[in-house]
Amino acid sequence: MEIFGREYDAESERQKGVEEFYRLQHINQTYDFVKRMREEYGKLDKAEMGIWECCELLNELVDESDPDLDEPQIQHLLQSAETIRKDYPNEDWLHLTALIHDLGKILALPSFGELPQWAVVGDTFPLGCAFDESNVHHKYFKDNPDYKCPAYSTKNGIYTEGCGLDNIVMSWGHDDYMYMVAKANGTTLPSAGLFIIRYHSFYPLHKEGAYTHFMNEEDVENLKWLKIFNKYDLYSKSKVLVDVEKVKPYYVSLIEKYFPAKVRW
């Protein structure tokens, strides 16, 4: 019983940590903050390296918002990618998307600004409109300066219905950063791949069905792929480790197909 008790305490401590993380995120992620981050990181002047090199760099990081992940990040990336590869063998773009979807987490490393965790990971949500009730730990939004701004307090806020998610300012983190990097470096991944990278943490949309009034037809099509991807992203955090050296040549060939050799970050 004692062992069980210790595990339970550790779990409850961890949950408290996750809640504190969301309190900070909900207070600090404002429309103006995101605009500043997009401008700063849109310069892509932090580093120049290949995609695989970045996968290896990511191993230095622990994600505090993820209650289940104790393995190195590259294991989670490869577990997702390998499981998808088995079920969708012909969609090589989806295998690569799985591998790279979390690379934006390098924002937490010193050479990329060492941003606090609340500006790197966690569920994402739109800014410039009302905070939907489906957002996790919604109560903390009341201390966000945007909460009291009349222009941002309606369902549509500064946007129009059906304007397309591409026109919505999302909270800043690894999703939007990696999307910016991929797009600016001329990736040839299809639009569904970029959509997955950009919105995989947008749980209010793909889990709760909130904010769908902003979607256009292309978003609706891409969301189908994101929902497929998300099953693997969530449930492939297995205890079976992938043999990195064995699968590396395959993923390097995909990187060469869809990305330049050197990428600006």
What is the Cα–Cα distance from 212 to 210, expressed in whole angstroms? 6
What is the Cα–Cα distance from 66 to 152, expressed in whole angstroms? 29
Q: Which residues contact 69 (CB under 8 A, 6 or more apart)?
A: 62, 63, 76, 237
What is the model's pLDDT at position 1?
37
What is the Cα–Cα distance from 196 to 4, expressed in whole angstroms? 38
Question: H-type helices in 58-169, by residue range?
Answer: 73-87, 92-100
What is the Cα–Cα distance from 92 to 192, expressed in whole angstroms? 12
- In Å, what is the CA distance from 201 to each residue of 48, 72, 204, 232, 260? 26, 19, 9, 13, 26
In which element (H, E) is residue 23 found? helix 2-28
Domain map (residue ranges) of the chain:
13-264
- In terms of C-beta density within 10 A (0-12 exposed, 13-18 middle, 19 or more buried), how is residue 139 classed? exposed
Please give the single-letter amino acid code of residue 28: N
What is the model's pLDDT at position 6?
39
pTM of the entire predicted model: 0.92
Closest CA to 226 of 78, 51, 101: 101
- In terms of C-beta density within 10 A (0-12 exposed, 13-18 middle, 19 or more buried), how is residue 224 classed? exposed
What is the model's pLDDT at position 76?
83
Binding residues for Fe cation: 76, 101-102, 174, 200, 233
Binding residues: 6, 63-65, 76, 101-102, 105, 122-123, 174, 200-201, 233
Beta bridge partners of 169: 127
Binding residues for substrate: 6, 63-65, 105, 122-123, 200-201
Q: Count Cα neighbours of 11 within 13 Å in the Cβ-side half-sphere.
A: 7
What is the model's pLDDT at position 239?
67
Closest CA to 96 of 84, 106, 111: 84
Q: What is the mean pLDDT of each run of 10 residues along the chain (265 residues)?
A: 48 87 98 98 98 91 60 84 96 98 95 96 97 97 98 98 98 98 98 98 96 98 97 72 95 98 98
What is the Cα–Cα distance from 236 to 81, expressed in whole angstroms? 9
What is the model's pLDDT at position 234?
72
